Amino acid sequence: MNGHQRIEEQSIWLHRAVADKLRQDTALLAKARRRVEGWLMDGSVHPRYAAAWQDVLTLSFEEILERLTEASETMRALRQCSPFAGALTPQERWDVLRRFRETHKR
């Protein structure tokens, strides 16, 4: 696995953990939607990416969960600027990254 593939796989692992957390706390979805609205208003994220996230976040709950870890080129790009940043606590993030490293030892 090259460096880019490793980073993408790590991002999928993190977003899988976000999806799991969303199943327990759907308020995180409202927070992500508000963040995207802010991006659209203040221009802090390129409008193309903000609008694409807005489209994703209007899907059904199950479709959103699927998209978070989808291997498509579009979702690969969108995960680089995720409205779910901060959804995981530092400990949760660390645990995911530790498991990822253990699973993907070189």
Q: Tell me what the mean pLDDT of segment 58-63 comes to.
A: 97
pTM for this model (two decimals)? 0.91
Return the structure tokens found at 13.
């692992």
Write the pLDDT tens digit of every residue in 82-98. 999 999 999 999 999 99
Which residues have C-beta within 8 Å of that of residue 5, sequence separation ≥ 6? none
Q: Tell me what the mean pLDDT of segment 60-83 comes to.
A: 96
Let me know how many helices (H) and strands (E) the chain has, helices first. Answer: 6, 0
Q: Which domain holds residue 84?
A: 3-103
Report pLDDT for 45: 96
Number of domains in the chain: 1
Report pLDDT for 106: 62
Q: Maximum CA pair distance of the chain?
A: 43
Residue type, 25: D
Q: Is the pLDDT of residue 28 over 70?
A: yes
